[in-house]
Amino acid sequence: MNLLDLAVIVVYMAGTLGLGLALARGQATVRDYFATGRRAPWGVVMASIVATETSTATVLSVPGFAFGTDFTFLQLVFGYLAGRVLVTVLLLPGYFRGEYLTAYQVLAERFGAGVGRLAAAIFLATRNLADGLRLMAAGLVLGAALLTWPGASAAAAALAPGLAPSTTLLVVSILAVGAITIAYTFLGGVTAVLWTDLVQLAVYLGGSAIAAVVLLDLIPGGWPAVAAAGSEAGRFRLFDFSLDPTRSYTFWSGLVGGACLMFATHGTDQLIVQRYLCCRSRSGAARALLWSGALVLGQFLLFLVIGVMLHVYYTGQAPDLLAALSSGGQVQTDRVFPTFIVTELPAGLRGLMVAAIVAAAMSTLSSSLTASASTTLADFYLPATGGRRPARHYLRVARRATLGWGVVQTAVALAAIPVSQRIVDEVLGISSFTNGVILGVFLLGLVGYRRNATAYAGMASGAAVMLAVRLFTDVSWQWYVLIGAAFTLAAGWTADRAAAGKSAGNGRESAP
């Protein structure tokens, strides 16, 4: 890192904050703050959906996937496309039948306030825990970049003598990224989030595309050499038709499991549902969701191609660097793209790529803050106060909730610094099985069930089954949503039949 790289990072983060400040005007109600008054263009919403579902891990890990294996990751993306169609047809119409602020208000309307609040509480707990860890991941990238700055180690040692310089810079990075994200989200609400997401999408996709061009230029023979070497190494293999349920990234786990995962995350999770509620119409929301699938497909293709080019480059032109990336004889694939960024990209572009990786994290975090704050207000505070307070009171509460969840996520990120990577992976996996349970409850309502006991029985049974699956089986996480939703539906149906039979029996006993 040099002065130009640092300047690029600082300018980007200052520009993001400035954009949020500029969009802070014209908010009089919580509907303006959390849903733009339903005035957002569908193209901006589309960009925000893609930026929100793309985290720092995506930008770093997907190139690493192709580096170490092949193109089979795309089978999961095919499932993502099918899942978007299911959401558009089955769930999206319900969000435009009323003036909702969150997905869980729909559940409360169908099954009662208790069910809606339970689903909302599950969302708040899993979302803020997971995104606090994602904030830590962004801090790791920025902190590692700052550590290469001349004099950074000495400055870090002076700032916190009792800590390793890398730890001090990680803390500073977490606080910086967290503070800027909280600031523009707090002030500008979801309007600021949508438009900064558009900028962040352009930054990380543009930076990745430029990095791909630079990488291709470093490989003698250009693309024909990449195609030949990649094919010989099997890096372009796309389909795996294995029926083994313990294996991830097969055709069946990708298409079926990926569709169910997308059905849940983009159909019932407030993080994405909030985007639809910003659109001017249901048709606009449908366009945003479906076209985001095409953009996601192109994005993952770019990342996978970068991974194949990295494989060709390091095995052919830089085998010594490849050895340096190995641990116990195994290449740490997630480190390959960041290493290329630091060691091979020219000044300025290197800073842009670090900014791009941070941008991917900020887009997810800002969306998480508005989703958490809207859930807190609409599913808990508004019902508790009966909506009797002035509009400006609720707007103040909305901003305070945004700030509060920002502090929570920052605290989670700081607390996770000494935690081992394995534990981090386990915590992040929580959402894999809760998504299926929530989807199952939504489907119970979709097919017509209304008893709150039906929903509670389904959720309890689905959660118990998923806990057993996670603890006692090796089933791939890509099947979790399908299993969780299926058992939630089955248990809810059984409970409803039993309740209906009991009601019928009581009716017969009391008949003359």
Average pLDDT over the chain reads 88
Closest by CA position to 350, among listed 142, 167, 190, 114:
142
- Looking at residue 255, its pLDDT comes to 95
Of 25-34, 39-48, 425-434, which range is least confident? 425-434
Sign of the four-CA dihedral 291, 296, 297, 301: positive
Tens-place pLDDT, residues 378-405: 999 999 998 889 999 999 999 999 999 9
Share of the chain above pLDDT 70, in %: 93
Which string of b and e fits 455-464 if b means at least 16 CB within 10 Å? bbbbbebbbe
- Looking at residue 477, its pLDDT comes to 87
Give residue 100's identity as a one-letter amino acid code. Y
- Looking at residue 144, its pLDDT comes to 78
Q: In this model, does residue 245 exceed pLDDT 60?
A: yes
Q: Which two tokens stand for residue 41?
A: 């263009």
Q: Where are the domains of the chain?
A: 3-428, 429-512
Tens-place pLDDT, residues 84-123: 999 999 999 999 988 899 999 999 999 999 999 999 999 9
Q: In this model, does residue 511 exceed pLDDT 50?
A: no
| Run of H or E including 331 | strand 330-331
DSSP conformation class of 346: P
- Looking at residue 419, its pLDDT comes to 67
Q: In this model, does residue 422 exceed pLDDT 50?
A: no
Q: What residues does 327 pair with on adjacent strands? A: 330
Query: How far apart are the C-alpha atoms of 493 and 94, rounded to whole Å?
Result: 21
- Looking at residue 509, its pLDDT comes to 45
Distance, first Cα to last Cα, the chain: 87
| Run of H or E including 326 | strand 326-327
Residue 450 contacts residue 402 (beta carbons within 8 Å): no
Query: How far apart are the C-alpha atoms of 45 and 49, rounded to whole Å?
Result: 6
Query: How far apart are the C-alpha atoms of 4 and 350, rounded to whole Å?
Result: 9
Residue 92 contacts residue 442 (beta carbons within 8 Å): no
Split at pLDDT 50, 70, 90, the class of 329 is: low
Label residue 140 exposed, middle or buried (CB < 10 Å: 0-12, 13-18, 19+).
Answer: buried
Of 71-75, 403-407, 474-478, which range is least confident? 474-478
Q: In this model, does residue 412 exceed pLDDT 60?
A: yes
Q: In this model, does residue 207 exceed pLDDT 80?
A: yes
- Looking at residue 322, its pLDDT comes to 67
Fold annotation for 3-428: Sodium/glucose cotransporter (1.20.1730)
Label residue 96 exposed, middle or buried (CB < 10 Å: 0-12, 13-18, 19+).
Answer: middle
Q: In this model, does residue 324 exceed pLDDT 70?
A: no
Tens-place pLDDT, residues 307-316: 999 999 988 7
